Amino acid sequence: WKPVLNLNSVVVGLQFLLLEPNPEDPLNKEAAHHLYTNPKAFGDYVKQTMQGGTFSGIQYDRVL
């Protein structure tokens, strides 16, 4: 974090991270593997979990 960054640059940076995820340097290696090997299935997994589904034995809260 640098004081020269304003809220707009932080929001734009977050938007970029969400729109262009980098599977080469992931925080979640399993998710990155799915994104890299099968983007369609990755999208389905994301939708499933955002709707309160379970993935890899973890139950997620419904946020959509």
CA distance 41 to 17: 20
Residue-range definition of the domain harbouring residue 27: 7-59
pLDDT value for 44: 95
CA end-to-end span of the chain, whole Å? 31
pLDDT value for 52: 96
Asked if residue 28 belongs to a domain, the reply is: yes
Q: What angle do CA 63, 25, 57 make, to 5 degrees?
A: 40
Asked if residue 47 belongs to a domain, the reply is: yes
Count of structural domains within the chain = 1
Asked if residue 64 belongs to a domain, the reply is: no
- Say whether pLDDT at 53 is over 90: yes
Asked if residue 1 belongs to a domain, the reply is: no
Q: What would the mean pLDDT of 50-54 be, rounded to a whole number?
A: 95
CA distance 28 to 19: 16
